[in-house]
Amino acid sequence: MRILVLGGTVFLSRAVAAAALAAGHPVTCVSRGVSGPPPDGAEAVTADRSRPGALAAALHGRTFDAVVDVATMSAPWVRDALDALHGRFGHWTFVSSINAYADPSLRGGTVTQPTLAPLHDQPDQDLTNRDPGVYGAAKVASEQAVRERAGDRAHVVRGGLMCGHGDLSDRYGYWADRFARGGRVVVPDVPAQPMQLVDVDDLAAWIVAGAADGTTGTHDGAGQRSTLDRVLTGTADAVGADDLELVRVPERTLAEQDVAFWAGPRSLPLWLPESLWGMVDRDVTTTSTAGPAARPLADTARAALAWERGLGAGRGRRAGLTDAEEQAVLRALG
């Protein structure tokens, strides 16, 4: 199977390219070439998808058995890619997101759950805008374009919360790094909060297998259902330092200390308000029969820690508490 990865140099799309190579498939990756090279063994093609016609010119006359597109925000990019390769692809996977669903509070939802209204045309769209509503609506429009143009050869994968090697979001990686450094660590005291991580390498392997065996339709690419507390405890067991102590801090104290949910500065990553618990509590029983296989959490924790260490100690982080912020929360506990 000759597979084309639109992307292939970052996190998930890079893992897809690597998984395809490991399975013995010839791989071509298209990117601008600014985020680094694709994995060794993949063909690198340079094209800027924001330039009309660039992709069509770069892939002129080429035919692929399978295409995997991870375009994050832009339905026009998705349409252009499908048009550029019209009649010259077998199977098409589009990586969408759980953010496509209209109600993020609904727990145990499946792919039949209503999605947001599509955001089709974004001529001046800021592609760095990660407002969940805009992002989710752009994904819905992209999904529609894929179904219209690829028909019964389309596989739409609504990605859940991804983690592991190559993750630049600093969310799960914050915990692996922080636990490995040890001492008293602030964690949210939320025993009931669900959590559902998918290891990027498990998701990538499942996407490649789906392309090879012709899996079509729409699936959630989410992991096994768990709780945040179990995930944090399991991560601590796997990579925590000997002197690690988890200090469970009530949500009220965290709010008083201006600690943010989910991600970003001064946050406890992956902690979510109840109104968003449905994002990390999908019913994946239909997906799970075929994958993604879930490797042990300890393996994911070790991969995330190795990635963190490769990025270097003491770097500025996109998510989490600084040591000084964490100390302030601990002092507030008295």
Ligand X SMILES: NC(=O)c1ccc[n+]([C@@H]2O[C@H](COP(=O)([O-])OP(=O)(O)OC[C@H]3O[C@@H](n4cnc5c(N)ncnc54)[C@H](OP(=O)(O)O)[C@@H]3O)[C@@H](O)[C@H]2O)c1
Chain residues in the site for ligand X (CB under 6 A): 7-13, 31-35, 47-50, 70, 72, 95, 97, 159, 161-162, 169
Q: How far is the CB of 190 from ligand X (least distance, A)?
A: 20
Q: In terms of CB distance, is 1 or 10 closer to ligand X? A: 10
- Angle at which helix 297-311 crosses helix 228-239, to 10 degrees, equals 70
**Sequence-separated (6 or more) residues with CB below 8 Å from residue 334:** none
Q: In terms of CB distance, is 46 or 275 closer to ligand X? A: 46
| Angstrom distance (rounded) from CA 178 to CA 184 | 10
Q: How far is the CB of 139 from ligand X (least distance, A)?
A: 7
Region class of 292: left (phi > 0), else alpha (psi between -120 and 50), else beta:
beta
The answer to whether 205 and 292 have CB atoms below 8 angstroms apart is: yes
Please say whether the dihedral angle defined by the alpha carbons of residues 135, 137, 143 and 146, taken in this order, is positive or negative: negative
Q: In terms of CB distance, is 50 or 63 closer to ligand X? A: 50
Q: How far is the CB of 74 from ligand X (least distance, A)?
A: 9
Q: How far is the CB of 188 from ligand X (least distance, A)?
A: 19
Q: How far is the CB of 250 from ligand X (least distance, A)?
A: 27
Tell me the Cα Rg of the chain. 20
Q: In terms of CB distance, is 71 or 329 closer to ligand X? A: 71
Q: In terms of CB distance, is 13 or 28 closer to ligand X? A: 13
| Angstrom distance (rounded) from CA 201 to CA 206 | 9
